Amino acid sequence: MTLPTSRLGILALTCALVLVAIATPSQAFDTKWHAEATRLAMERHGFSADARLMCQFANYLTDYFSAPGDHLEALNAYVPAGIPKAGGLGGVEPAHVARLHFDALIMHSQVEYQWKTLESNTKNALERWAADPSVKAGYRPVVLMTILCASLHAVQDFYSHSNWLKKVPARDGGTPIWFEVPEAERIEANIKSGWYPDGDTAGRLYHREENKDSSARPLNVPAFNAATRASIDWVGRLMAQTPGVPWGTLKAWTAQPTNLNGMWLKKPDASFITTTSTLAGHWDGETPVKNVFAPEASRNKNMAGEALQLTLGVYFKNISQSSPATPTPHWVGFTIYHVEKALSSQLYLQNEVR
């Protein structure tokens, strides 16, 4: 069977991105922590189990699409013959999603700007795609939840990647979140975030010093607790600011399979989160407290690899049959509508001249 060019492009995207995810660790809270903070926030606001899982998936894809573009040439050598090589991650520009990790902010004014811009971008994106007539009706909830939970990724990373926990005194309920501290106190605290890759420039915080991404890292638990409370606050904040968004529909949303192979969110998409993050050593650090597939590390990775192969089989079948071509409908916020462009607009990116 000969696949149309659009489907071949998405197939190449999937092949190349799997290799990127496995080869390139992301600079973010590890997947376990992002997923749990997202689950708790969505549950607190009354979202369905499927809506929660959709948001966990969108949150994870924010890391997944952040893989550096300069790895693609080497990785493209592994793309099977007859499939076009991936050039720009299938239209998702890594620089856009790279802005959604609160990294490399070297002065407090940048941190203040990043928070204000992220909030404005998220509100505007939700309002835009809630009303955009070009969005297919079945895709609209996916697009809106992708916007909400990709922005949540940035919110959560702030508490893992910055010196906030070290600079802001804890209270009875733990470290206060950003919006609970007056701006004058935030300025006095001189908040910065870690730079990646690591180096030795004087006065700069580096990722190796500040990241609290896994169980093995100092301050992981208080960072996760703050990120969870911040996630709950963020979802409520955005809901209050965007009354035109159909929040009741989103809260009650259920994934609707279109055929007997269609339990995509609960099976291949959920599997994609755990398998790729496990193979990349990004589930909960290189030595997780608890593995996903098996207690023993080697068996855990072997089983993750086998599960990923099954997942890709479903994805490739969907790509060949769907229009527009997509591994599952739950990818479309990034791969079809490219909400990452709106979310990341004017946010800081390290090494970028402004």
**Span 89-115, pLDDT tens digits:** 557 888 899 899 999 899 999 999 999
Q: Does residue 6 carry a pLDDT above 90?
A: no
- The burial class, CB within 10 Å (0-12 / 13-18 / 19+), for 316 is middle
- Sign of the dihedral defined by the CA atoms of residues 132, 136, 137, 140, in that order: negative
CA distance 189 to 184: 9
pLDDT exceeds 90 at position 208: no
**Predicted local distance difference test score (pLDDT) of residue 81:** 54
Nearest to 330 by CA among 311, 347, 344: 311
User: What's the rounded Cα separation, in Å, for the pair 254 and 245?
Assistant: 17
How many Å apart are CA 108 and CA 102, to the nearest integer? 12
Task: Specify which of 133-137, 140-144, 252-256 reaches the highest per-range mean pLDDT.
Answer: 140-144
DSSP string, 117-142: HHHHHHHHHHHHHHH-TTS-TTTHHH
CA–CA distances in Å: residue 341 to residues 62, 98, 196, 347: 12, 11, 22, 10
Report the C-alpha gap between 136 and 245 in whole angstroms. 15
User: What are the two backbone dihedrals, phi and then psi, of residue 170, each rounded to the nearest 5 degrees?
Assistant: -70, 150
pLDDT at 21: 52
Locate tokens 């790279």: which residue?
98
Residue 17, pLDDT > 60, answer no
Closest CA to 264 of 18, 15, 33, 54: 54
pLDDT at 349: 83
243 burial level (CB within 10 Å; 0-12, 13-18, 19+)? exposed
pLDDT category of residue 69 using cuts at 50, 70 and 90: very low
Distances (CA, A) of 228 to 259, 282, 293, 334: 36, 19, 25, 24
231 has a pLDDT exceeding 50: yes
In tens, the pLDDT along 177-187 reads 999 999 999 99
pLDDT tens for residues 236-282? 999 999 999 999 999 999 998 766 556 899 999 999 999 989 988 89
Rounded Cα–Cα distance for residues 79 and 176 (Å): 47
The residue whose two tokens read 């599960």 is 307
Tokens 């297919």 belong to which residue? Answer: 136
Q: Which two tokens mark 44?
A: 């607190």
Grouping H, G, I as helix, E, B as strand and the rest as coil, residue 295 is coil
Contacts of 166 (CB under 8 A, 6+ apart): 219
Lowest mean pLDDT among 7-11, 145-149, 160-164, 245-249: 7-11
The tokens describing 74, both together, are 């080497």
Q: Give residue for tokens 């599997």.
A: 271
Cα gap 11→84, rounded to integer Å? 8
Query: Residue 213 in contact with residue 160, Cβ under 8 Å?
Result: yes
The answer to whether residue 133 scores a pLDDT higher than 60 is yes
**pLDDT at 292 > cutoff 70:** yes
- pLDDT mean over 142-151: 98
Cβ neighbours of 84 (radius 10 Å): 14
